[in-house]
Amino acid sequence: MSFLSSFGREIAAALPALLLALTFHEYAHARTAVWWGDPTPARQGRLTLNPLAHLDPLGTLLLIVARFGWAKPVEINPFYFRRHRRLAMISVSLAGPLANLLLGFLAALVLVGFRPGGYLASFCSWFLLYNLVLAAFNLLPVPPLDGSKVVGELLPASARAAFWRLESYGPWLLLVLVFTGLVGRVLGPLVQGLTSAVLGAAGAVFL
């Protein structure tokens, strides 16, 4: 009974942490695209912090069960980016992971600076973990993740078209990489390094 009670408390902390991390990730994409002049996210109701607007049911379930999943991608129309189109695409792509890094740092500040207990400690620990996992995972240069869009925009024109052709195979490639454990081997050290860096930076604030 005590195990079930403890498990229930962890779920009660982990689930809101996951929903918030996903929501802010997608909202950051949407807000940045609108800032650059693309009204598409606003028209589709994505310029909101309501988690229901951003969740993909299957992707969220897999995140909880298999530690791999996705939210509903924010659709953008780059033809609205009349100024500095490549810079706009890069900044929109990076906005989600950077938002997660910032939120992870805020969670670390609470954990290191205030040393909470109980539910708040559990929530902040999960919030730190989910945000850093989302940031690291989405920065991988594998289509359709955010990192691939950054790489695609930075490539010379001669290589860009060939790289974008890979995007149609991206989801299948990503599934293979995840379920063969290759993503985990890369992601584990990345998340550990990010966690150490973020906790260290938070600790430096309180020196």
- Residues forming the active site: 26
Cβ-count burial of 83 within 10 angstroms (0-12 exposed, 13-18 middle, 19+ buried)? exposed
Ramachandran area for residue 202 (φ above 0: left; ψ -120 to 50: alpha; else beta) = alpha
Distance, CA of 187 to CA of 129 (rounded, Å):
12
Long-range contacts of 108-117 (CB under 8 A, 24+ apart): 108/198, 108/199, 108/201, 108/202, 109/202, 109/205, 111/199, 111/202, 112/199, 112/202, 112/203, 112/205, 112/206, 113/202, 113/205, 113/206
Distance from CA of residue 46 to its chain's centroid? 16
If you count them, how many residues does the chain have? 207
Distance from CA of residue 61 to its chain's centroid? 16
